[in-house]
Amino acid sequence: MKKLLAVLLALSCMLIGAAAVAETLNVAYMPNYGSLWSVETAINKGYFEEEGLTLNLVEFADGPTIIAAMESGSIDVGYIGQGAHKLCINGRASIFALSHISNGDALIGGKGIKTVEELKGKVVAYSSGTSSEDILKNSLDKAGMTMDDIKAMDMDASAIVTAMLSGGVDACATWSPNSLKILEELPDATKLTDNMTFSDTTVSLASWICMPKYGEENHDLLVRFTRALFKGMDYSANEHYDEVSEWVAKQTATDYESVYNQRGDAQWLTGKEVAEALAALAGAPIDKKKIELETKDIKDAGVFNGKVRLYVGVVASFKIQVEVEQA
């Protein structure tokens, strides 16, 4: 698992030192522990201040909305869950740092639904383009089903809880803290699957991203942001759940207990663990069969875009420069 993290970071972010210049960053987050665990720690421990950075935190409901805000220019960097990574694969955003490996997504059945197979013909709420859609499709596929076998209802993430608790839908696919709230308040609810159900075939990553152009023009800022973020990871992953939960609860205006209960939603990695894994894998070979170039027939000199498929659902982008020798 650590090897995966190391390769991803090696191809998406080169962490080298630079002199700090005071800057303000507009940072997008989602109102949950996983989105804020490291960034809130880095703010409250003064790590961003040490890097000359001030953060303006802006709340969003999901990853695709965050990427849309980046494209409009209102957000500099943001946090996304597993589902929105497909937009990075398509080139709409670039990953520059890993946050954690998530286990906060769940497919939940309502009254009388105990298995995925029993969802056939039922109304199932989900949010397209997010990890909600991912876990729903993965669950159906594992059961030999498709989206055509259910009555899929695409809705905003914030509306899923209300729809489920009111009985407006038969089941739902969502993420923490929505999943925890539903399982706690709906007595007949059953968790049908979660991220660990598919741990042998896929990895549910959560990452920090920016626009490709922003990354090219603001490398120094991203280095400083990531350096502070990794310090926050080192501190908060080391049994400081009480303290971190208080900071997250304050930022999200949520009660402490519900935030604290989210501490089991992921594998919380330290920046040190990621860095050590990166060092161990430096220079590791990549299977040439997994490399894809946008231009299939390169005849002239120039710079060309390419992608390498590292693991299921994990693709890293790169550029290759071709020079033609003169005869």
> 273: pLDDT confidence band, cut at 50, 70 and 90?
confident
Closest CA to 25 of 66, 53, 50, 51: 53
Give the chain's length. Answer: 327
Give the rounded distance of the alpha carbon of 98 from its chain centre.
8
* β-sheet bridge partners, residue 190: 109
C-alpha atoms less than 13 angstroms from C-alpha of 144 in its C-beta half-sphere: 2
In this structure, what is the dihedral angle of CA atoms 169, 173, 174, 176, given to the nearest 10 degrees? 110
Assess whether pLDDT exceeds 50 at residue 52: yes
Q: What is the mean pLDDT of residues 44-57?
A: 96
Class of domain 2-103+204-281: alpha beta
> Same fold for the domain at 2-103+204-281 and the one at 105-198?
yes
Pick the CATH number of 105-198 from 3.40.190.10, 1.10.645.10, 1.10.3720.10, 1.20.1050.10: 3.40.190.10
* Tokens found for residue 197: 């159900």
Can you give the pTM of this predicted structure?
0.71
Residue pLDDT, tens place only, 76-88: 999 988 777 777 7
Are 139 and 120 a contacting pair, CB within 8 Å? Answer: no
Q: Distance (Å, rounded) from C-alpha 21 to C-alpha 53?
A: 8
Region of residue 239 (left: phi > 0; alpha: psi -120 to 50; beta: else): left
Segment holding 257, helix H or strand E: helix 256-260
Q: What is the mean pLDDT of residues 286-308?
A: 58
DSSP 55-101: EEEEE-SSHHHHHHHHHHTS-SEEEE-STTHHHHHTTSSEEEEEEEE
Lowest mean pLDDT among 96-110, 122-136, 263-277: 263-277
Are 187 and 157 a contacting pair, CB within 8 Å? Answer: no
Q: Between 192 and 129, whose confidence is greater?
A: 192
| Residue ranges per structural domain of the chain | 2-103+204-281, 105-198, 288-322
Assess whether pLDDT exceeds 60 at residue 162: yes
